[in-house]
A and B are shown apart, each in its own frame.
Chain A
Amino acid sequence: MSTIIDRRSSGTRSTSNQERLQRRVRARLKKAVEKIARSGSIEDLANADQPISIPTRDLHEPSFRRDLSDSSWERVLPGNKEYQRGDEIPKPEGGASGQGREGSPDGLGEDEVAIVLSADEFLDLLFDGLALPNLRKTSQGDVQAEQWRRAGFIKDGSPSRMHVGRTMRAARARRLALRAGKRRELQELEEARSILQQEISARMARKQDISLEQERLRDLDAQIAILTRKIKAIPFIDEADLRFAHIDQQPHPITNAVMFCVMDVSGSMGEKEKDLAKRFFLLLYLFLHRHYQAVNIIFIKHHSTATECTEQAFFGAREGGGTLVSPAIQLTENIIKQRFPAERWNVYVAQVSDGDNYFADNAVVADHLDQLLPRLRNLFYLEVNRENESDLLQLYEGIAENHPELITARASAREDIYPLFRALFSREELPQHG
């Protein structure tokens, strides 16, 4: 008796083990991920799919075992060519200790395990423990909306929601399952019948009595008839096969938040400055996307004028010209007024610049910030690649004394960006907003 089963479609079942493995080496994975975030190229960050190597000694499983390195042993080997009893073979250089390892029962020797992280796992590790500061979930604007969501299939529902594909699949499975055994039986009976018939004709040719055989034939025919009827009686579709698409109302908390990414793309921003700025924004972008599905992101680039642009235009920006910061602040202000009223939105601004501002503009900026800041949860200002603090940064720091929601930072090298990012968004380290 043999059964053959096609198991190929049932997929792999290693995920739970994989999950536990990653949990186990989380600290090390995190370090590796952070290293990529610090010094890898921007492409590495955006499509993280490379395997991360973990030394197996981190995953060692000890047990009582023999020490084979330094003892006497006798071993039987195949393939003798010239040895005679009593021959002596000098031990290899490096002493006896090198020899023992090969006999170790667990086949050590591979010293690294490669773990491939999916993009999501990568980002989870990268942004572990980070959150948007001061996010208010229950302010007036937040609605606890009900949303219809698909929720699998059920056996019972309104006719209009019947899922034909699933139903037919269930019906087919049932028909196959119920038929298979009977078909096999039927086949056997029919084979028996044809053998019997041959025998009958043989006996008839020999003119022997065939009454017994004919009785058996009738018997078989009756059995075949019953089986055929049974097979026919299996319904094409049965009530048990019906499947209905299920939808369910689920509460859906809305945390209205919008992040303004304001980047200086003026001529003074060289390749290096832009790289730093883009790194910061990319991290921000990935972070928001991964953790806050409902966060709006507005991209604004500015030199002497400011424009709202798409994500592609923002990250691909190559422009030049003089620098004015105030237009960007103004544009932000306008967009907030028009689209994101502060009482209904958590508004954040992240601004990156090299701080080169036309000196007369600083006063204008200060004015606008006074207007703008009370409406923001936070404004992150990051100054890149400066020997000394710019006038703009000093201005911002002055304002920050009265407005704790303004947070400033400076970065001069690639490696600074990620730690800085962590510092800005880690849950504890920020001053709590009143």
Chain B
Amino acid sequence: MADYLFTDNDWTFPRLDAVTRAIAAIAEEELQLDTYPNQLEVISAEQMLDAYASIGLPVYYAHWSFGKQRAIESGQYRRGEMGLAYELVINSDPCISYLMEENTMTMQTLVIAHAAFGHNAFFKNNAFFRQWTDAEGIIDYLAFAQRYIAQCEERFGMDAVTDVLDAAHAISRNGIDRARRPRQLSAREEEQRWQERERYLEQQVLEIWRTLPPVLGQKTQQIDVFPSEPQENLLYFIEKNAPHLEGWKREILRIVRKITQYLYPQGQTKIMNEGFACFVHYHIMHSLHGKGLLTDGTLLEFYASHTAVVMQPDFDDRRYSGINPYALGFAIFQDIKRICVAPTEEDRRWFPFAGDPGWLKQIHFAMREFRDESFVLQYLSPKVMRDLHLFSLRNEADEASYKVSAIHDDTGYQHLREALAQQIADSSRPPDIQVVSVDRWGDRHLRLKQMDQQPLDLEEAQKTLGFLHHLWGYDVHLDIEDQTLTAPQSLSAD
């Protein structure tokens, strides 16, 4: 038997190193995790707050909204209303994990297992991340973005840049390609491309405003609809087609779009990502203890933090603030293992893989091939629903009471599963608003249309249209079911 990795609870760099090695061995041998190389960074609480303010990204351009975020969070932190996360991890290659200096050695061990191996493996293997993000290029690209925007501030003034960023942020949630994979980004290419474009800026011809007479003899007049199909990516559409937008503004829109796109999978896989990381740390901590590398005391301390993290408060609990992604994700992953190892009759009815001796294969498959919505739809088992005592509540606007539409019983399982998947899908998707037409030969107004049925916050929409107008330069209209909103003429409306 090996010696304990540590017996008292102060962390030191050699200990971190030893623990990381021990965890790496388990991750590789027992869980067969394929990870990016790790870069562990020890940071202070202040720095953690910084990282929070910039969505965890290590380099980010400057904008007042990040300052606002930080002011809110540091206020909460100082008043004791909010604890800081023990760790933060970035989907990059090498994978950067932040460890808080306040953590005890046990916590550092937990955090390394959770972030540096759990999240890391998820980033590298989940199909969604593989398809939509480029871990290798991101840090360089962020540095490029930061530099570029700083340069713009110098050349065109801070206020002008802020206006563009405000507008870009307002529509950034509608600036994501959901259907096709964006091209890989490489910072150097980007920079080159931008410089080239600067050079040719003067000669730029915008296809949709082309007014050269048509070539004689060619049949002209087909019905003139632009764009030919509705466009869901507003940021992209504006960037490419706004009539009078200066080159640098287009580049800023592009930067916001690229970064939003990079962050897109994180919002789509929160339950899975956290669930998988919890599953990994749970396995690793037990394995370390089993090998005699951790003391019983350490294991107990681990249990205390682990249970706090995966705790799901009941809906009538004061602490309740929605479904806890850690709790749900962890429960489902643990359950997949259980269904393989010790299936019940019910499991066999629900899951074709029940009783599969290769539980690890099933876990890997689940981790790789799904996102939250499909993951819940595929794997949320009756047992987990019973354990969490899930039920669904239906609200009709004109009725006096809510109705319980399903509970965790035989008649309700299927409905619950679907309702939860739908709920997850809705919460991670902004209203579907698309560009339907541009009046090319008239007053150049831009027409948007809401494509889904969900009611829209009209006041918000009005303000957002103001930003769109600012970028587009001409009138912007939004068609909603039975009415049309028009953008206010100036931004000062808010």
Residue positions of A touching B, CB distance < 8 A:
1-8, 10-14, 16-24, 51, 56, 59-67, 70-81, 83-91, 96, 99, 102-103, 105, 110, 113-115
- Inter-subunit contact A83/B47 (CB<8 Å): no
List, sorted by A's number, 21 A–B pairs whose CB atoms are closer than 8 Å: A1-B37, A2-B116, A5-B40, A12-B50, A14-B53, A14-B66, A20-B62, A20-B64, A20-B67, A20-B158, A21-B71, A56-B72, A61-B169, A63-B170, A66-B426, A74-B395, A75-B392, A77-B315, A79-B313, A99-B395, A102-B321
Least CB distance, A401 to chain B, in whole angstroms = 45
Determine the chain B residues whose CB is within 8 A of the CB of A85 once the complex forms: 404-407, 409, 411-412
Tell me which of B213-221, B245-253, B414-422 binds A: B414-422
Residue positions of B touching A, CB distance < 8 A:
13, 16-17, 20-21, 24, 37-44, 46-47, 49-50, 53, 62-68, 70-72, 75-76, 94, 98, 101, 116, 158, 162, 166, 169-174, 312-317, 320-323, 388-397, 400-409, 411-412, 416, 419-420, 422-423, 426-427, 430-431, 433, 454-458, 460-461, 463-464, 467, 494
Contact A64/B393 with A17-B67, A17-B70, A74-B422 known, Cβ cut-off 8 Å: no
- Inter-subunit contact B64/A83 (CB<8 Å): no
Determine the chain A residues whose CB is within 8 A of the CB of B389 once the complex forms: 78-81
Determine the chain A residues whose CB is within 8 A of the CB of B427 once the complex forms: 103, 105
In the bound complex, how far is the Cα of B388 from the Cα of A102, in angstroms?
21
Q: Most chain-B Cβ atoms within 10 A of its Cβ — which of A12, A56, A76, A90?
A: A76
Closest 8 CB pairs of A and B: A79-B314, A21-B67, A17-B67, A62-B463, A77-B315, A20-B64, A16-B62, A80-B391
Closest to B78 in A: A114
- Inter-subunit contact B400/A8 (CB<8 Å): no
Determine the chain B residues whose CB is within 8 A of the CB of A17 once the complex forms: 53, 62-64, 66-67, 70
- Inter-subunit contact B64/A77 (CB<8 Å): no
In the bound complex, how far is the Cα of B46 from the Cα of A75, in angstroms?
37
Contact A14/B419 with A2-B116, A71-B454, A91-B400 known, Cβ cut-off 8 Å: no
- Inter-subunit contact B423/A74 (CB<8 Å): yes
- Inter-subunit contact A59/B64 (CB<8 Å): yes
In the bound complex, how far is the Cα of B324 from the Cα of A79, in angstroms?
12
Closest to A77 in B: B315
- Inter-subunit contact A3/B40 (CB<8 Å): yes
Contact A83/B391 with A4-B17, A78-B312 known, Cβ cut-off 8 Å: yes
In the bound complex, how far is the Cα of B392 from the Cα of A84, in angstroms?
10
- Inter-subunit contact B395/A66 (CB<8 Å): no
- Inter-subunit contact A2/B70 (CB<8 Å): no
Least CB distance, B11 to chain A, in whole angstroms = 11
- Inter-subunit contact B174/A64 (CB<8 Å): yes
Determine the chain B residues whose CB is within 8 A of the CB of A11 once the complex forms: 47
B419 partner, pick from A20, A76, A88, A113, beta carbons under 8 A: A76
- Inter-subunit contact B13/A4 (CB<8 Å): yes
Closest to A59 in B: B68
Least CB distance, A24 to chain B, in whole angstroms = 4
In the bound complex, how far is the Cα of B83 from the Cα of A383, in angstroms?
55
- Inter-subunit contact A75/B64 (CB<8 Å): no
Least CB distance, A3 to chain B, in whole angstroms = 5
Contact A67/B403 with A80-B391, A83-B391 known, Cβ cut-off 8 Å: no
Q: Most chain-B Cβ atoms within 10 A of its Cβ — which of A4, A10, A11, A91?
A: A4
- Inter-subunit contact A80/B17 (CB<8 Å): no
- Inter-subunit contact B407/A83 (CB<8 Å): yes
A64 partner, pick from B17, B456, B494, beta carbons under 8 A: B456
In the bound complex, how far is the Cα of B392 from the Cα of A89, in angstroms?
12
B467 partner, pick from A56, A62, A81, beta carbons under 8 A: A62
- Inter-subunit contact B315/A66 (CB<8 Å): no
Q: Most chain-B Cβ atoms within 10 A of its Cβ — which of A2, A16, A70?
A: A2
- Inter-subunit contact A74/B433 (CB<8 Å): no
Closest to A115 in B: B71
- Inter-subunit contact B403/A2 (CB<8 Å): no
Closest to A51 in B: B75
In the bound complex, how far is the Cα of B67 from the Cα of A23, in angstroms?
11
Determine the chain A residues whose CB is within 8 A of the CB of B44 once the complex forms: 8
- Inter-subunit contact A3/B38 (CB<8 Å): yes
- Inter-subunit contact B431/A64 (CB<8 Å): yes
B458 partner, pick from A67, A86, A99, beta carbons under 8 A: A67
Closest to B48 in A: A12
In the bound complex, how far is the Cα of B392 from the Cα of A85, in angstroms?
9
Q: Most chain-B Cβ atoms within 10 A of its Cβ — which of A1, A24, A74?
A: A74
Determine the chain A residues whose CB is within 8 A of the CB of B21 once the complex forms: 2
In the bound complex, how far is the Cα of B44 from the Cα of A19, in angstroms?
22
- Inter-subunit contact A5/B68 (CB<8 Å): no
In the bound complex, how far is the Cα of B69 from the Cα of A21, in angstroms?
10
Least CB distance, B260 to chain A, in whole angstroms = 11
Least CB distance, B291 to chain A, in whole angstroms = 19
In the bound complex, how far is the Cα of B156 from the Cα of A366, in angstroms?
56
- Inter-subunit contact B395/A8 (CB<8 Å): no
Least CB distance, A181 to chain B, in whole angstroms = 15
In the bound complex, how far is the Cα of B65 from the Cα of A18, in angstroms?
9
- Inter-subunit contact A66/B457 (CB<8 Å): yes
B323 partner, pick from A56, A78, A88, A89, beta carbons under 8 A: A78
In the bound complex, how far is the Cα of B20 from the Cα of A331, in angstroms?
77
Closest to A57 in B: B494
B47 partner, pick from A12, A65, A67, beta carbons under 8 A: A12
- Inter-subunit contact A7/B403 (CB<8 Å): no
Least CB distance, B459 to chain A, in whole angstroms = 8
Determine the chain A residues whose CB is within 8 A of the CB of B322 once the complex forms: 102-103
Least CB distance, A259 to chain B, in whole angstroms = 34
